[in-house]
Amino acid sequence: MGETLLGISSEYLYIHGKKPKLVEDIHSPHFLVFSRNETIEADRKRLIDAWKKSQDTPLRHIKDVGEIERFRSFWDFGKEIKAFRVFVDRSFLVPEVSDHIFFNLNLYTAEHDIPYHQRVLIDLAVEDKAWILDTEGIKKKLRVLVYDIETTEFEEGRTDLPIDILGFSSFDVSIESEKNLDREEFNFEIKDIPSSWRDCEVIQFVSRNEDEEIDNLLNFCNMVRQHDIISGHNIVGFDNRQIHGRVEKILRERTDSLSKEQIELFKEFLNQYSRKDRSFHFGVGSEIINLYPSTFDTYLGVRKFYPYLDDFGLKSVAPFLGVKIEGRVYLMPSQIRIDDRTLKYNK
């Protein structure tokens, strides 16, 4: 492919140095249909006939029916199964169409429950079109945005609170990576990175009224699309959700006072650079927001690599990792204000 894939959502590919690209331009959602090998041709024709006659059934969402192919059995690798692909209009329609075929046409279906972004990544890798974060041995520079927000009106469960303080730091890292499928290896190296976190300037946007907040959020949305990696601690479960929810609320309630360009930037952020999702930990699900091209949440990283820690908050994690800040300020949510102490806490 000659390009480095930074991230993927169910709708967009995020390629280094380029604008988001629609997934449907290079991939179509699909699943497999099979029956007994000796009847597969007749069953495929039966499905096509039903599809052509469908107007009020889920079959109307079918875009195409592929030719019969041979697949290695899922449960017996020494056996081959004849099957064909059924392509549908949108990824979220796959389960509905698959269920209809299974229950109404008595055909077996498979690969209908794979999360679509994983389906795309697998297919692109198999076809050698893209491998996420593969620079093909070339050193590439990535722009990283690390941020944290503060709100003086914290209320459990709300995700549209005013963003009073938004602190961030922007810096570059260089990576070099390459896959070798014959040896089943993926080599990844960070070549250049700031020598110390102290060298990274922290900039803070302060919102004393809603107009200032809108300007600050517009600046943030613009920064997101200029960076390759968006990072922070617990951002997918809190900061990203608050930013996303606040932008949605402003678009609902302040559209009349926004310019066309401001509305377009907010909508672009919501539609192309952020996406609602769910995260599961020991079977317990929680709402999250991913930011694109790529999100790196250090909270999730710590939880994965240091699961034995009693607490994954920055108050505990920073000292554990050797990050010692002289005179560090610790505040409870109820103590957040627009004042020097909170600004120091945010920084």
Here the tokens at position 145 are: 């945005």
Q: Is 83 helix (H, G, I), strand (E, B) or coil?
A: strand
Nearest to 69 by CA among 27, 45, 40, 46: 40
- The whole-model pTM stands at 0.89
111: domain CATH number is 3.30.342.10
Residues 6+ apart with CB under 8 A from 106: none
Query: Does residue 100 lie within any of the structural domains?
Result: yes
Report pLDDT for 61: 97
Backbone angles phi, psi at 35, to 5 degrees: -145, -150
Domain of residue 262, CATH code = 3.30.420.10
Pick the closest to residue 289 from 232, 247, 252, 244 (CA basis): 244
Whether residues 149 and 67 fall in one domain = no
Identify whether 158 is part of a domain.
yes
Question: Is 117 in the same domain as 53?
Answer: yes
CB 113 within 8 A of CB 92: no
Query: Tens of pLDDT along 86-122?
Result: 999 999 999 999 999 999 999 999 999 998 989 999 9
Average pLDDT by consecutive 10-residue portion of the chain (347 residues)?
A: 87 96 92 92 97 92 97 87 95 96 96 91 87 94 98 88 97 95 91 90 96 98 98 96 97 96 98 88 79 96 92 89 85 90 92
Q: Which residue has the tokens 């317990």?
A: 284
pLDDT per residue over 261-273, tens digit each? 999 999 999 999 9
Is 102 part of a structural domain of the chain? yes
Cα(157)–Cα(11) distance, integer angstroms: 28
Going by C-alpha positions, the residue among 231, 230, 272, 267 that lies closest to residue 250 is 267
Residues 326 and 263 in one domain: yes
Q: What pLDDT, on the 0 to 100 scale, is given for residue 89?
A: 92
Range of the domain at 83: 27-126
Q: Which residues contact 174 (CB under 8 A, 6 or more apart)?
A: 139, 140, 141, 142, 190, 191, 192, 193
